[in-house]
Amino acid sequence: MKKNSKIYIAGHKGMVGSAIVRRLEENGYTNIIYRTSAELDLRNQADVEKFFKEEKPEYVFLAAAKVGGIHANNSYPAEFIYDNLMIEANIINSSYKNSVKKLLFLGSSCIYPKFSHQPIKEEYLLTGSLEETNEAYAIAKITGIELCKFYRRQYGCNFISAMPTNLYGINDNFNLETSHVMPALIRKFHEAKINNSKEVIMWGTGKPRREFMYVDDLADSLIHLMLNYSDEIHVNLGIGEDIEIGELANLIKEIVGYEGKIVNDLSKPDGTPRKLLDVTRLNLTGFRYKVELKDGIKRVYEWFLNNEDIKK
């Protein structure tokens, strides 16, 4: 992938896609293309095929997806499986038909079994039942991995897959109906502080453990893989450390400066008990993360404070 190679970022408006664009531009890549969802509906096969035929991208980062937290996944499973299947199938097939040199498909750690051995190795895929609350999304992402694998086997396509852990960073989704745990807690504690609320309600027991990777580290790892990795098996992306959700809540509470108490809503689901990725394969390629959790949360909260529109 050269500095003037034509690179298509699918999902460039999202947290991950926008981070990839920033990093590529910072690294001197000058021929980056993208379309908003209003300009190109990635669920529409004919439109995607027309776009690829006209633009002929050489490299593709497939970061477009319908995403959300437990509430959104539970409430709209049909949309989550349909939209994600269509997006990935259209882009992967069009990449093959238009001789894309390399494609990187971005999945999710929710593809692994609910009660997987920890830390989770890439080989544990399809060895057990999925977490019920995001099963539809997980099945769609597993299909994306398999598409890349079988297009690679049958057609010789240089299509690779990467599975990131839980992500956070600037341009995250702070909508309490659809957000993931990190931005939801940041917004809850911030609003509780502003409104002088005596307590903040947190879903579940706070006992599940999660791993969090700052989105700029994620973008760096994806570019690193595009330049240095080419194999059939997908690669876990993470930092190799996790934290209890309850501990995370207290850390965010401290950073925000909220002085009330945390109340657990035990009627709400916990989700998967633990999701810690084994990142040995990633580390063997020569990549290591840089941003520690506390510093990353401080960056996100500062960005949140300076972007009034995301709090509406």
The CATH number for 162's domain is 3.40.50.720
Q: Which residues are catalytic?
A: 137
pLDDT for 310 equals: 65
pLDDT in tens, the chain (312 residues): 999 999 999 999 999 999 999 999 999 999 999 999 999 999 999 999 999 999 999 999 999 998 877 777 778 899 999 999 999 999 999 999 999 999 999 998 889 998 899 999 999 999 999 988 889 999 999 999 999 999 999 999 999 999 999 999 998 888 877 778 899 899 999 999 999 999 999 889 999 999 999 999 999 999 999 999 999 999 999 999 999 999 999 999 999 999 999 999 999 888 778 889 999 999 999 999 999 999 999 999 999 999 866 655
- What angle is formed at CA 88 by the lines to CA 87 and CA 94, rounded to 5 degrees? 95
Residues 6+ apart with CB under 8 A from 32: 7, 8, 9, 21, 24, 25
pLDDT for 256 equals: 95
The answer to whether the CB of 162 falls within 8 A of the CB of 104 is yes
Short-list 99, 138, 101, CA closest to 5: 101
Residue 149 resides in a domain = yes
Residue 285 resides in a domain = yes
Residue 153 resides in a domain = yes
- What is d(CA 72, CA 137) in angstroms, rounded to the nearest whole number? 10
Q: Residues comprising the binding site for substrate?
A: 188, 203, 210, 270
- What is d(CA 127, CA 115) in angstroms, rounded to the nearest whole number? 10
Residue-range definition of the domain harbouring residue 50: 7-169+212-240+277-291
pLDDT for 66 equals: 85
Q: Maximum distance among all alpha carbons in the chain?
A: 60
Residue 253 resides in a domain = no
Measure the CA dihedral 135/141/146/147, to 10°: 130
Q: How many beta carbons lie within 10 A of that of residue 312, not counting itself?
A: 6
- What is d(CA 248, CA 267) in angstroms, rounded to the nearest whole number? 20
- What is d(CA 34, CA 39) in angstroms, rounded to the nearest whole number? 10
- What is d(CA 155, CA 274) in angstroms, rounded to the nearest whole number? 37
- CB-based burial label for 168 (10 Å; 0-12, 13-18, 19+): buried
- CB-based burial label for 222 (10 Å; 0-12, 13-18, 19+): buried
Q: Count CA atoms within 13 Å of residue 113 on its CB side.
A: 15
Residue 201 resides in a domain = no
Q: Residues comprising the binding site?
A: 11-17, 106-109, 141, 164-167, 180, 188, 203, 210, 270
Residue 178 resides in a domain = no
H-type helices in 135-180, by residue range?
135-155
Residue 306 resides in a domain = no
Total of domains in the chain: 1
Residue 181 resides in a domain = no
| Residues, the chain | 312
- What is d(CA 95, CA 195) in angstroms, rounded to the nearest whole number? 50
The answer to whether the CB of 129 falls within 8 A of the CB of 116 is no
Given the structure tokens 């539970």, which residue do they identify?
A: 74
- What angle is formed at CA 128 by the lines to CA 122 and CA 129, rounded to 5 degrees? 120
Using DSSP, state whether 205 is helix, strand or coil: coil
pLDDT for 113 equals: 92
pLDDT for 283 equals: 96
